[in-house]
Structure 1
Amino acid sequence: MVSLFDVIVIGSGPAGYVAAIRSAQLGLKTACVEQWMNNGRVVYGGTCLNVGCIPSKTLLEISHKFIDAKANFEKIGINFENISINVKKMIRHKNKIVYSLNDGIAALFKANGVVVLRGSGKILTKKTVEVLHKGKLCNLKAKNIIIASGSIPRCLNHVPFNGDTIIDSAAALNLQEVPNRLGIIGAGIIGIELGSVWSRLGSKVTIFESLDKLLPVIDFSLSKQISQILKKQGLNIKFNVRIIGSEIVNNEVKVRFIDPFGEHCLTFDKLIVCIGRMPFTQSLIDKESGLVIATNGFIKVDRQCKTNLSGIYAVGDVVRGPMLAHKAAQEGIMVAELIAGNQVQLNYDTIPGVIYTSPEVAWVGKNEQQIISYGIKNYKIGIFPFANCGRARTSNEIQGLVKIITDVNDIILGVHIIGHNASELIAQGVIAMEFSSSAEDLALTCFAHPTLSEAIHEAACTASLGNTIHNI
């Protein structure tokens, strides 16, 4: 059987379901292929919704509330005794949120007329997609194909997953009790977020990192500050580490590693391996199709996510750039618009990044070390600490700062925030940069008082005018 569609999307993660819905909204006959099933139901939303962004932020929020109540409420006059955490109930709450959002995507597909095809998709020649479901094959023809198959966790051959003691980041979101000793390999964003969750709930957490510093992707001043804060919160982060092996003995895992001081062994109740993710293209593309895949597994695309084959696009985690849900979703929208004949280009220079620690870290644009490496001279910096912000003090959230970097003409090159609600505040920096604003534009804008966003205003004043009212 051969059916003809205007657009076939492979994958229903943030890139795929958004691309499918927008394509349908633009009047294109659209199908979405999804192979993830659970108890006979299609699982929508990909990694982000099911085992990534949404569940991890749910647990981060719960654990933050727990530690805030335990450590800080008495200081502000809220008294209670014997606060505790019910891990099983916490996980059920997280799952309920995930299930409801899955149902939401299903409803959106139905409302917009997207045809859902259960099974694994494979791209053949002549824009044909082969769908395999329960042993049955069907071939679908499409004028356009959008590949949005996402990514999977990387593994260490000498530290293999066993689904119980040595687990990946997905399994770490479903632990039914707080491990006494938790080891984490990888101090990237996923590693420190998971470490934060279980440390707040009572685990003694050790994180192994092969690099000599934390999070080199962010501005070095923020990296230094969040590293100090996490250390004070109880995370034991070991740098310059090379893992050489693991052994499971009596339901415990022994990790052997080398650091600058020699060879060591530590024992944990659980070990999470989160050393990054890799594009998922396994069995996705027939060699005869001619689609070009780089040696690192990513599908080669241009700035508009076009592959080397006309009418075939790839978006999200399977292409270059940061593996971020919001970047993936915007690529999905861009491609749908291009297929419909509209000229759209995603601005890759204004994609924000966020780390949901406490305090949060968020950024957009260039950091200071990048500016130095690019040879940009005479740049200016405006910094304002949240300790000088009235709203931050009323919320007892005074850690962190806003840092704005501009060029010699006062145009904003980067905005970097560490502090409470940084994930929300960074949108102001994104919008400013999207419209090529100067720091003076922000400095001359009226911000509501008292708000955390005033810290952005004050940092802009410092960058543009050389000083501000509330900085000592």
Structure 2
Amino acid sequence: MAEPGRNRADALSVAQWKEKIERALACPQAVGPIRNIKDEDPRPFDAIFIGGGAAGRFGSAYLRAMGGRQLVIDCWPFLGGACPHSACVPHHVFSDCAAELMLARSFSGELWFPDLREKLTSIKEVVDLFRKGRTGPHAVMNYQSREQLDIEFLLNAPARILDRHTVEAGGEIFRARHLVLTLGAEAAPLEAPGSELVGVHNYATLVETLDREPGATVVVIGGGKTAVEYGCFFNATGRRVIMLVRNRPLDMIPDRETRAYALERMLQQGIEIIEGADVVEIVGDSARRVARVVAATPDGPIEIETDFVFHALGERPRSRMAVEALGVEIDAKGAVIVDEALQTSAPGVFAAGDLIGSPMEMFKARKSGAYAARAVMGEKVSYRPRDWPDFLHTHYEVSWLGLGEEDAREKFKNVVVMKLPPDNPDGLNIGLPASDRTMLYAMARPHMSGFQKLILDGDSRRVLGAHHVGYGAKDGFQYLNALVRGGLTIDQLAEMDELFLNPTYFIQLARLRAGQPNLTNLA
């Protein structure tokens, strides 16, 4: 039996989708609504997903797989949302560049590396490269959604909610038993005079509007994931980066020692961090371009000359349309309030993804969209994101799960720690951990070869937390987390067969101690 959508006479190849998306992005009106709706299907829609990002696309696929009928509507000419277009995918591109450039600058003029001392590399070239390449993934998702997943959609057509069952888009009226709101979020604005000046960017405007090479000094406003990730990229290009942070950077890392290692490496790369800082004004020149930033700090006011400001102050859910059309309840941050079945305060209306607030992570968008689909189809579901692994990019990948050491000691009487490098006056001068993408550091710059830590309950022998700074561990953490939630012990960890050299030494460290009846630290 042929797969859904196969052998259609009107099927588009990935290349054809790419060309169509590019035309629509250049001139949406010239292309008009992109319609994939089975008018011959007599069944009513079980759900209309308003928003075709991760939550809407995965929710649609899940509902369709369950045998239901769905329609997903999006103003963009592609499915997948902001992630591949302007959010998470570009920051991965920039973080890859940061890691490569840190290696090149650390060995500048040595081995086969060119001399990059006092040299700036281009930010704009990388942005242009991303902008040119991003329609490829868009095309794949449109192709997959139509030809393989049999998803019905209306793209390049903004939606207008009429009531709890009715939506207008592309000049048509559509009705469904339920609505699923997957409207996403957008960068929170910078509330400071001068924020509208040319040269002030957030993650979205950077990839959409950057038209000239930034100068030698960059000001980054914020201390969360996005601010740190982009700040490290700007720094790796050779620029002076000054981060203005209201509280402190990397605060989301739950283990103090892991945070300290990651932060120390950022500072070592030359990033300047001013904590307790508030932007007072961004001052422009006669051409309305950024000229300097004025900030209040604990040590008094400062002025920084720059032509480039990047701000990352969190995300704001796009809930306005839902509030105005349906009166759904929202919280103080604008997130739509849902119960554990993802039901809003409006009967029959569900919500998922970034629209329902933190954590604004990809796993939650995809998973909550699928749970909303299951609820629409009558399944009893309960979803609240909890106990998930997490990560961020500095010049490294920083991954963590479970408890940090401080929280573990508050909750458990007998906490055992295993880590590399070991606690020793010369610990950072020893090339451990040595693994994927850190071998040159381990041999010649050992203090840069990474950090990892395993936290155990010495009584139950269970793993309580794991933390890693380096490369290549992120993939393993999503599987390790499931095992830890299932009660993984040091003895079970020691029974695993490791790949050598592997990014984390957790299996090896566990095997060195698992024979002890009474566990002791290996730190």
TM category, shorter:
0.7 to 0.9
Assess if the C-alpha contact under 8 Å between 2:108 and 2:115 holds in 1.
no
Shift of 1:312: 2.2
Match of 1:301 in 2: 338
Residue correspondence of structure 1 range 315-394 to structure 2 within 5 A: 315-342=352-379, 348-371=385-408, 375-385=411-421, 387-391=431-435, 394=439
Unaligned runs of 5+ in 1: 37-41
Taking the aligned partners of 2:102 and 2:67, their CA distance within structure 1 comes to 49
Q: Which residue does the alignment assign to 2:233?
A: 197
Query: Which residue in 1 is equivalent to 2:51?
Result: 11
Question: Is 1:164 aligned with 2:198?
Answer: yes
**Aligned equivalent of 1:139:** 173
Name the structure where strand makes up a greater proportion of residues.
1
Q: What's the counterpart of residue 106 of structure 1?
A: 142
Question: Is 1:129 matched up with 2:173?
Answer: no
Secondary structure, aligned partner of 2:322: coil
- 8 Å CA contact 1:166–1:253 kept in 2: the answer is no
Q: Structure 1 residues 213, 17: closer, same or farther in 2, change over 3 A? A: closer
Match of 2:189 among 140, 155, 171: 155
In structure 2, do the counterparts of structure 1 residues 439 and 122 end up closer, same or farther at CA, with 3 Å as the change threshold? farther
Please report the RMSD computed on the Cα atoms of aligned residues, expressed in angstroms: 3.0
1:216 offset after TM fit, Å?
4.1
- Structure 2 counterpart of 1:161, one-letter code: S
Alpha-carbon distance between aligned partners in 1 of 2:312 and 2:125, rounded to the nearest angstrom: 25
- Going from structure 1 to structure 2, the CA distance change for 1:428 and 1:278 (only over 3 Å counts) comes to same
Contact 2:344 2:350 in 1 (8 A): yes
Q: Which sits farther off after the overlay, 266-275 or 305-314? A: 305-314
Deviation readout 1:201-239 (Å, 9 max, x if unpaired): 122111100114542443221111111110111111111
Distance across 2 between alignment mates of 1:257 and 1:463: 51
Q: Secondary structure at the match of 1:388?
A: coil
The residue aligned with 1:68 is 103
Q: TM-score, normalised by structure 2?
A: 0.79
Moved over 6 A (4+): 81-84
The SS at the match of 1:349 is: coil
Calculate percent identity across the aligned residue pairs: 19
Q: Distance in 2 between matches of 1:415 and 1:432?
A: 12
Q: Structure 1 residues 378 and 139 mapped into 2: Cα distance closer, same or farther (>3 Å)?
A: farther
Distance 1:168 1:389, change over 3 A: closer
Aligned AA (1:266):
I
C-alpha change, 1:328 and 1:285, in structure 2 (3 Å) is same
d(CA) in 2 for partners of 1:437, 1:208: 40
Per-residue displacement from partner, 1:394-427 (whole Å, max 9, x unpaired)? 3536532222223342233322211122322322
In structure 2, list runs of 5 or more residues that go unmatched.
1-38, 422-429, 443-447
* Counterpart residue identity of residue 272, structure 1: F
User: For the structure 1 residues 275 and 79, does the alpha-carbon distance in structure 2 shift closer, same or farther, using more than 3 Å as the test?
Assistant: closer
Report if aligned partners of 1:21, 1:108 keep a CA contact under 8 Å in 2.
no
Label 1:333 to 1:88 Cα distance change in 2 as closer, same or farther (>3 A): same
**TM-score between both structures, scaled by the size of structure 1:** 0.87
Name which of 24, 27, 35 aligns with 2:64: 24
| Structure 1 position 20, deviation (Å) | 1.4
Structure of higher CA gyration radius:
2
Is the 1:359–1:399 Cα contact (8 Å) retained in structure 2? no
Distance 1:257 1:462 in 2: 51
Question: What is the number of residues matched between the two proteins?
Answer: 457
**Deviates further, 379-388 or 442-451:** 379-388
Q: Name the SS of the counterpart of 1:224 in structure 2.
A: helix
Q: Structure 1 pair 227/26, CA: closer, same or farther in 2 (3 Å)?
A: same
- 3-state SS of paired residue (2:45): strand
Q: Does 1:313 align with 2:350?
A: yes
Does the alignment pair 1:414 with 2:472?
Answer: no
Is 1:48 matched with 2:83?
A: yes
In the superposition, relative to structure 1, how do residues 163 and 369 fare at CA in structure 2: closer, same or farther (>3 Å)?
farther
Question: 5 Å matches for 1:200-239?
Answer: 200-212=236-248, 214-239=250-275
How far is the alpha carbon of 1:244 from its aligned partner?
A: 1.9
Q: 1:39 maps to which residue?
A: none
Q: After superposition, what is the alpha-carbon deviation per residue over 1:94-140, rounded to whole angstroms, capped at 9, x for unaligned?
A: 12432111111111221222222243334443x3232344xx4x432
Q: What amino acid is aligned across from residue 399 of structure 1 in structure 2? A: S
Letter in 1 for 2:297: D
- What CA distance in whole angstroms lies between the structure 2 residues aligned with 1:427 and 1:395? 27
Instruction: State the shift of 1:187 in Å.
Output: 1.4
